[in-house]
Amino acid sequence: MQILLLENVKNVGKKHTVVKVPDGYANNNLIPKKLAIPANSAHAKDILAKAKSKQEGESKQEQKLIEQLRAIDSITIEVNTNTTGSLYQSISEKDIAEALKTQNNITVSKTNITLTNGPIKELGEHTAAIQIGEEKLKINILITTK
């Protein structure tokens, strides 16, 4: 039976995809739990059309975000240090996302940011990778004292 998945289903498929599953699995498990609907229904065609237009809108937003991130040379984060220059706390992906928001008005989820060498624990220049869709961008981070 051809069904349209309304949610991600493990070992079956991702949301808004049409997959073929055994009739019993579809009728007894997926459809009653509202995880899927028959792919030949008019409702399924409507859901696919809405999902496609939503995906197109998201890709436009991703392209705009990528352009904004490419325009940034680096971000600066000021932190408190002790007398020897060691940081009181490490800089994580969350701190970088907050710095992007405050300095450049760009909202990026902390889950999209990857620090190449783990959390930053010392002053100086560091790099981070930001994954937006299929695009992976590198950004320089300058850690300075207050």
For 57-94, the pLDDT digits (tens) are 777 888 888 888 889 888 999 999 888 878 888 999 99
CATH 3.10.430.100 domain range(s) in the chain: 72-145
Candidates 3.40.50.150, 3.40.190.10, 1.10.340.30, 3.40.5.10; CATH matching 2-61 = 3.40.5.10
Residue 93: what pLDDT? Answer: 93
Listed in sequence order, the residues at least 6 apart from 7 whose beta carbon sits closer than 8 Å to its beta carbon are 15, 35
CB 128 within 8 A of CB 138: yes
Residue 54's SS3 state is helix
Listed in sequence order, the residues at least 6 apart from 138 whose beta carbon sits closer than 8 Å to its beta carbon are 127, 128, 129, 130
Residue 43: what pLDDT? Answer: 77
Tell me, what DSSP letter sits at residue 111? Answer: G
Residue 65: what pLDDT? Answer: 87
Query: Any idea how long the chain is?
Result: 146
pTM: 0.63
| CA distance linking residue 86 with residue 124, whole number of Å | 11
Superfamily per CATH, domain 72-145: Ribosomal protein L9, C-terminal domain (3.10.430.100)
Amino acid letter for position 104: N
Q: Which residues of the chain, if any, have pLDDT below 70?
A: none
| Phi then psi dihedrals of residue 117, to 5 deg | -115, 25
Residue 46: what pLDDT? Answer: 81
Residue 118: what pLDDT? Answer: 87
Listed in sequence order, the residues at least 6 apart from 1 whose beta carbon sits closer than 8 Å to its beta carbon are 20, 21, 22, 23, 26, 27, 38
